[in-house]
Structure 1
């Protein structure tokens, strides 16, 4: 069985890391640009590394006040950008996205970097081009989470269900086939690397996503409340956490976030639970710094908020599956421990975890923060550059010029 490779620092020898001429013309492609979330923070770092790269995306409705995160760039977009209601309902055009991404003509680029959680990795490249794909996850709703998504959408039976299942079947065929066009896969966690192995039959290097840990100062004092901060979408399981704390009236819970599950969470809340809804960044950081612990019930590919809480010196109580197992240290050693896990998404398991947490020796804020510093933006840039450099060198040799640029100069 093929192994999953943990990435090493930037390649030694050959061109210096600062000599960007070795890469030739660079194109960066991202699935869609509509919000500034975890995958866009990875894209931001990539564009800082290759500021002269051209940017492509299926649609670009990125918030204008935040466009500085993209270096002010506007993406070249697909025909989906101009379809009816594309801004509000672009996901409805998912069946057209494989076709859309294949229409980008990237033949004039030496290096193609895709940032993909859906279709970006399916862009067409030729044998003289190097394609490195940073995969946040294979298409979740087409692979192992298909049945969960169909259940959450309420289309488990009937004609709509069969139409959805047929569409997802063909998405899987396309997604697996286009994996052959990628020269090097990079995943955001060991958990996602295993998904890549199952979906595409390929190994992936692991480069953890960047977290702006410097934005989160160490909390000086901690209150007695537990904190949940998340978008309220079904897989985050916020109502489950509210239900668990409703059974523990002696323990306080503060919930920050908004979304489709807000009304359900509010209906389950008891007087010991405070739902604040959406809050600005400063309020979120302050609550993270002062919380007794951060509680996290999702099976997440990585889980940036889990690292942000630790950067504040706040320990984490997390569901023990997914990326959280790689960022939280459940240990009896006070010099290593940053939190603990519960192994079932159930009220009983969460309550038991809270009891173990309160019996545990005090977690040290400085240990939590030291663990979070492993996920800085500087570390991401260094490790991702190392993967790209080694991939380029292995394909065309450390001393060779970019093939397409060389051909252009000779023409």
Structure 2
């Protein structure tokens, strides 16, 4: 550490792994927000490639002064261990709880402990960003023997979790946090890409985007079925599916989606693990978005909004906050409802123009700049209160 950094407050950040997805984008952008102002140490299970993550998420972490501390011994810093973490829930949860115990032991002298991976007992009061509830620890109402073992491994205290200052990714999640833990949350919407080329509506493709990991919980098969019904009604729309895979346990589903796409290659195209800049090009080209899974927030839906699309989403979950309750014509319940609402927009140019103008007003709510500013404020407020 150079002399000028010796005076900085120290922050220990816990994010056990990076396997792709919106939650990890949050962690990386928290690092981006704090690294210039604090002495940051990131604790993970295995070493990470910051340059590769910069390419995927458009961060600049490899150019920052950040200490990355892998918790597993170097012997276990291997692809086989990475495979087990990604594909074995038992191994993953066991290592997560072991890492919690080690994290608490190693971070007693830091000025702040911060979990970017949901609610956590960090041994003392810290700051936690919640994407959802009962992610690290099991739901006490449903705890089984393995859950009790995990809690002993990490020496996990629910009371310590409740003492933390809590950030939540949406009002929807904040309500769930209140129900689960009895604590209040400060809502900080996740970072959403802003560097999207503005392509005029007339020059965009008459295409839908389905974005997110290609795994069954994200339900891209439902998106395909909905748009097939739309096409059957005479609308020649295309579909671009973007996202990473879900590990070995999801390979059969991934193969299923790719097979359907290959059989319908005249209108479906799948892109996997695109670099950030290439993903933005796909975002910019599409007129519409379609996201079937109710989400705690739904970062891909916010990206669609920022790209000037008209997104259609389920009528429950955090993604409703992104579009706003006033856009009922874009919120659907099930497949038949989705088909009718999509067709009502596709066949009405005036409705498209009205929606585009209305949705544009919501874009400023979501950006990396706004996210970083709010994270810096939250950390600054924490230190003011603790001084």
Q: 1:193 to 1:21 in 2, by over 3 A?
A: farther
Question: Which of 134, 146, 152 in structure 2 is aligned with 1:167?
Answer: 146
Number of the residue aligned with 1:348: 336
The range that moved more, 87-96 or 185-194, is 87-96
Q: CA deviation at 1:381?
A: 2.5
Among 219, 227, 246, the residue aligned to 2:199? 219
Work out the CA distance in 1 between the residues paired with 2:254 and 2:108.
46
Give, in angstroms, the shift of residue 168 of structure 1.
Answer: 4.1
1:374 paired residue among 352, 365, 369: 365
| Aligned equivalent of 1:153 | none
Instruction: State how 1:277-316 maps to structure 2 within 5 Å.
Output: 277-278=271-272, 279-316=274-311
User: Could you tell me which residue of structure 1 aligns to residue 46 of structure 2?
Assistant: 59
Measure how far apart 1:134 and its partner are. 1.4
1:27 matched to which residue of 2?
A: 12
Q: Does residue 358 in structure 1 map to residue 351 in structure 2?
A: no
SS at 2:342 equivalent: helix
Distance (whole Å) between structure 1 residues aligned to residue 257 and residue 38 of structure 2:
43
Question: Helix, strand or coil for the counterpart of 1:254?
Answer: strand
Give the gaps of 5 or more residues in structure 2. 55-59, 246-250
Q: 1:93, CA displacement in angstroms?
A: 3.3
- Cα distance, 1:350 vs. partner? 2.2
Residues 43 and 122 (structure 1), Cα distance of their counterparts in 2 relative to 1, 3 Å cut: same
Contact 1:116–1:134 (CA<8 Å) still a contact in 2? yes
Query: How far apart in 2 are the matches of 1:374 and 1:110?
Result: 31
Change (3 A) 1:23 1:167: farther
Structure 1 residues 381, 65: closer, same or farther in 2, change over 3 A?
closer
| SS state at 1:219 partner | coil
Let me know the Cα RMSD of the aligned residues. 3.4
- Per-residue CA deviations over 1:342-374 (Å, capped at 9, x if unaligned) read 123xx3232123133335612454543442222
How far apart are the structure 2 equivalents of 1:62 and 1:338? 42
Contact 1:28 1:56 (8 Å CA) reproduced = yes
For residue 130 of structure 2, the aligned residue among 120, 130, 135 is 135
Could you tell me which residue of structure 2 aligns to residue 231 of structure 1? 213
Q: Are 1:256 and 2:241 an aligned pair? A: yes
1:42 to 5, 16, 29: 29
CA gap 1:65/1:23 in 2 versus in 1, 3 angstroms? closer
Higher RCO (C-alpha under 8 Å, 6+ residues apart): 1
Partner of 1:13: none
- Counterpart check, 1:202 vs 2:183: yes
- With over 3 angstroms needed to count, the CA separation of the structure-2 counterparts of 1:325 and 1:41, relative to structure 1, is farther
Q: Distance between the aligned counterparts of 1:389 and 1:311, measured in 2? A: 28
Q: CA deviation at 1:107?
A: 1.3
How far has the Cα of 1:375 moved from its partner? Answer: 1.3
**Counterpart Cα distance in 2 of 1:189 and 1:263:** 33
Name the TM-score, length of structure 2 as normaliser: 0.76
Q: Distance in 2 between matches of 1:380 and 1:21?
A: 27
CA-CA distance at 1:59 after TM superposition: 2.8
CA contact (8 A) 1:236 1:297 kept: yes
Structure 1 unpaired stretches of 5+: 1-19, 148-163, 332-336, 397-411
Name the structure 2 match of 1:273.
267
d(CA) in 1 for partners of 2:337 and 2:146? 37
Residues 132 and 87 of structure 1: is their aligned pair in 2 closer, same or farther, counting only changes over 3 Å? Answer: same
What is the deviation of 1:236? Answer: 0.9
Distance 1:287 1:389, change over 3 A: closer
Contact 2:8/2:37 (8 A) holds in 1: no
